Amino acid sequence: MGGVSARYDLIAAEYASGADDLSSPAVGALLDLAGPVRGQRVLDLACGHGTVARDLARKGAHVVGLDISTQLVKRAREAEARAAWGITYEVGDAADPDVLAGSTFDLVVCNFGMSDIDDLDGACVTVQRLLRPGGRFAFSILHPCFGGTASVCGSWPSNGTYYDERWWRADRELSSLRREVGANHRTLSTYLNTLTRSGLQLEATAEPRPEESWTAERPEAAVQPVYLAVACLRPVAPA
């Protein structure tokens, strides 16, 4: 766990600096798919320093945040101490079969964290375990089909193809965060099949257009699908 944690621990101060930013179309699509949250018990998986968790709490959800990075969770807890929203933050591995044992949630969300999780199967099994029957899982990621350009890396390794599924580190000018922490590339079919294999049922998808500022800086990249948001349900067992 320590090696995975260190990827974000090393940049936690820089990553968590500044005000919460919920302006990304990917975040908007994620929250739209999540639906109304007032009164719901919600898990923010790979919560980072808590930006989405705080938004969900402001909307009336009872929120738990989980992240493998001790330094990001430390900053999330510091923000909670400054302005309390009743959020509980935990350090843990999403793929650990014992993580948050005994907990149940109405909704699990994950904003751009699925590609940071090395064990996708384990994480999806955890989501299914923690969701109540009828509960929803909504996540956003860089679109697996985004091919990039000369200045910004795509979803898959720069020296490979769409079919090369592995962890890799970006190497192009405008891919700043992924140059620091890398990411796991997986095909679209791998994501969908893993969700299904874990007992989660696809409900809806969204492919929001990138923000205008992103498009202006990367016009040649903006003609491609950039973001993907997905919502799944844990089915209710037949009576």
Q: Is residue 108 part of a domain?
A: yes
Of 127, 82, 131, residue with least CA distance to 104? 131
CA 194 to chain centre: 16
Q: Token pair for residue 202? A: 């696809």
Q: Is residue 149 part of a domain?
A: no
CB 66 within 8 A of CB 92: yes
Q: Is residue 85 part of a domain?
A: yes
Residue 18 has a pLDDT of 63
Q: Is residue 7 part of a domain?
A: yes
164-220 pLDDT tens trace: 999 999 887 767 778 788 999 999 999 999 999 999 999 999 999 998 888 888 888
Report residue 229's pLDDT band, with 50, 70 and 90 as the boundaries: very high
Element (H, E) at 120: helix 120-130
Q: Is residue 155 part of a domain?
A: no
Q: Is residue 195 part of a domain?
A: yes
Report residue 13's pLDDT band, with 50, 70 and 90 as the boundaries: confident
CB 224 within 8 A of CB 152: no
Predicted confidence (pLDDT) at residue 19 exceeds the cutoff of 80: no
pTM score, whole prediction? 0.94
Q: Is residue 161 part of a domain?
A: no
DSSP-derived pairing of the beta strands 167-168 and 183-184:
antiparallel
Sorted by sequence, the CB contacts under 8 Å of residue 196 that are 6+ apart come out as 202
Residue 178 has a pLDDT of 80
| Domain harbouring 118, CATH code | 3.40.50.150
CB 69 within 8 A of CB 12: yes
Q: Is residue 171 part of a domain?
A: no
Domain count, the chain: 1
CB 124 within 8 A of CB 200: yes
CB 195 within 8 A of CB 232: yes
Which structural domain, as residue segments, surrounds residue 111? 2-143+187-233
Q: Token pair for residue 13? A: 């101060």
69-101 pLDDT tens trace: 999 999 999 999 999 999 999 999 999 999 999
Residue 4 has a pLDDT of 59
